[in-house]
Amino acid sequence: MLYENSLVSDLFAAVVCCGVIFAFLLLWQVTAKCGVDQKLNRKLVHISIGLVFMLCWPLFSAGYRGAILAAITPGVNIIRMLLIGSGIWKDEATVKSMSRYGNYRELLKGPLYYAITVTLACVVYWRTSPIGIAALCNLCAGDGLADVVGRRLGRKKLPYNRNKSVAGSVAMATAGFLSSVGYMYYFSYFGYIQEGWGMILRFLVVSLASALVESLPISTELDDNLTVSLTSIFIGSLIF
């Protein structure tokens, strides 16, 4: 019956998607309370949310309405970041799971940029553009694992940025690229895009460029959630 009425089907998909995403957010809030390292917990949020959100995209219809209804979930998160980050809404669990130093105002930077990127990638690129795949995979998997690996294996620092490591940059490029290819095949299974070696090579270029920009000092100053997203979208727009 749901598939006979596309609007009802999309609304049902939106409810399911929202429930899945907020279940993950609740999970990371619980792990933060249970004493999981704050930096690691923050990166688990960073890696998982956008990637899980993309997994839900096939639940929606192909048209613009499907994209808008899918974007409600990260759109709500934009509002949450604004309310919590401005101090209007007190939510210590969210602050602890998403901030570096436990300051609620941090949510107005990286976490807000993250939510905006996920929302815009959904609305603008939806399921048929590899640009959206590249942007979210490099932001979520790439940037997220760069920090996790860099903190544990990053003894060798980059000569032009002592705050970044060779291991972290390699991990970012690798994770961003492999996850992009994985989602390429995932969406091609549903017929949204056509996979091929040419697209794989382009994903590699975007991931390398994103890892390079993330390794620069400017990413620390501006916030790498912003610079990585803009780089992926810019380079992707040039080559796809």
- CB proximity list for 192: less than 8 A, separation 6 or greater: 58, 62, 127, 128
Residue 158, phi then psi, degrees to nearest 5: -75, 140
CA–CA separation, 240 vs 233, rounded Å?
Answer: 10
Least confident segment among 193-197, 207-211, 220-224, 229-233: 220-224
Residue 1 confidence class, pLDDT cut points 50, 70, 90: very low
pLDDT band at residue 158 using 50, 70 and 90 as cut-offs = very high
Its pTM stands at 0.91
Point out which residues pair with 157 in neighbouring strands: 165
Look up residue 166 and give its two tokens: 């060779």
What is the pLDDT, as a whole number, of residue 3? 55
Dihedral sign (CA 184, 52, 62, 119): negative
Condensed to tens digits (0 to 9), the pLDDT of residues 53-108 reads: 999 999 999 888 999 999 998 999 899 999 999 989 888 878 877 777 778 888 88
Smallest CA-to-CA distance from 234 within 218, 210, 217 is with 210
Contacts for 81 with CB less than 8 Å, ≥ 6 apart: 107, 108, 111, 112, 115
Partner residues linked to 165 by β-bridges: 157
* DSSP H or E run through 162: strand 161-165
Other C-beta atoms closer than 10 Å to the C-beta of 119 total: 20
Q: Which residues, 6 or more positions from 99, have their beta carbon under 8 angstroms from its beta carbon? A: 38, 42, 106, 107, 111
Angle of CA points 139, 51, 119, to nearest 5°: 70
End-to-end C-alpha distance for the chain, whole angstroms: 38
